[in-house]
Amino acid sequence: MNGTAFEVKGCTLLLAGGLRGARGAAEHFIAQGAQVLSADTPEGGLVALETANLLVICDALPQRFQPLREAAQRRGLPVLTRQPAADSGQITLVGGGPGALDLLTVRAVSALADADMVFVDRLGPGDLVRKLAPQAVIVDVGKQPGHHKVSQSQIEEQMLTAAKAGSNVVRLKGGDPFVFGRGFEEMAAASKAGIAISVVPGLSSCITVPAAAGIPVTARGVNRVFSVISGHDPLESQQLEQLTGLGGTIIILMGMGTLESTASGLLRQGMAATMPCAIVESGTTGDQRTTFATLATLTATSRARGCANPAVIVIGEVTALPQRLLAEEMANFGAIA
C-alpha cells in the first residue's frame, strides 16, 4: 500500500528503515500532521510498536522488517510500505493536464504527494498544488507571453540543485511535458547531471479542450487527420499551404497572438471563407467559454468577444458538429412540442 493514500494526521506512526533513506518519509509524514517514531532495526522497532497505531516500512530491504510487520499485524495495526529516498534526489516531469483537477492522472497525484519541491507552470492545475502536495515547497516558475520571470536555464539549475541535495523534485507542467513544452530539455539537463529523472504523461489540451466543448478532432465521414500547431510565432506560407491541402482539422495552441495572421494566411491559400472555426477558452475549467465563427469572421468575432489565452483554436468541418447536433435536438424538441 502506498503511504500517500492513508490519512495519517493525528496518528502516531512507527517508521522502520535505514535512517538516511527514511529521512524524506519522516519529513513527509510530519508535514501531514503525524507523530513519527523511528527504528532502524526490527528489535528496536518492537518496543516502539507498543505506542504506535501505524507501521510504515521504508527500507531498501523491507523483508528484514518482516518480524516487525508480523507483530503489527497481530496487533491489528495498518502496515504501509514506502520506497526509501536515494542518496541523491530525483526529478519527475509531470503533465498536469488542461486545468481541471480531476483530469490529473492517478500517477501524477501520487508523484505530487511524494514531492519535496514542486516547480509549477502558469497553466495546468498550478493553483491547486498546495492541496495535492501539502508537504512540499512550491516554486512558481510560470511564464507569461513575453515575460519569463525565471529563465529556462535558471529553472533547470534550481531543479538540479534541489535534486543533488536529496530532494524529490516534481516539475509540474500544463498539458503533457512533451507537447510544445520544454520537457525534453529538462530531461536532457538532468541526464547530463547524472540525476534520475522520469516522466508522467499528461492529457494535452489539443484533444481534451475541443472534447470538453463537444468538438471531436476526427469524425467518421468528416475527416481522418488532425494537425496540432504551435501558434506562438506566425506560420510560414508553405506551412499554411500544407495545412490547407491536408483537408483535416487544425488545432492551434498558444495562437491568440497570431490569430489574424493565421486566418488571413489560410484564406490566401484557398481555404473556404465559410470553414467552421471555434475558440475554446479556459477549457475543462469552470470558466470555459466557446466562440463559434467561420474562417472569414474568426478574427472579428474573437475581437468582439474579447477572446484571450489560455485558448485552443479549432479550424475544420468537425467544428460545426456540436452546433448541428444542437440544431437537430431543437428541431426534435419543437416537433414533440
Catalytic residue among 121, 159, 256, 271: 121
DSSP output for 138-194: EEE--EETTEESS-HHHHHHHHHHHHHTT-EEEEEESB-TTSSSSHHHHHHHHHHTT
Name every residue whose Cβ is closer than 8 Å to that of residue 228 and which is 6 or more positions away in sequence: 179, 204, 206, 251, 253
Q: Report the C-alpha gap between 95 and 84 in whole angstroms.
A: 24
- Which distant-in-sequence residues (6+ apart) come within 8 Å of 158 by Cβ? 119, 139, 141, 150
Instruction: Name beta bridge partners: 147.
Output: 144
**Which one of 254, 256, 271, 275 is the catalytic residue?**
254
Whether 121 is catalytic is yes
Judge whether 179 and 157 are in contact, CB under 8 Å. no
Phi, psi for residue 155 in degrees, rounded to 5: -60, -50
Distance set, CA 308 to CA 69, 259, 261, 289 (Å): 56, 11, 16, 10
How far is residue 35 from each of residues 47, 54, 97, 131, 186, measured CA to CA in Å? 16, 10, 35, 21, 36
Name beta bridge partners: 140: 120
Question: 237-246 and 259-268 helices cross at what angle (nearest 10)?
Answer: 70
Does the annotation count 254 as an active-site position? yes
CA atoms within 13 Å, Cβ hemisphere of 320:
10
- At position 333, the amino acid (one-letter code) is F
Residues serving a catalytic function are 121, 143, 254
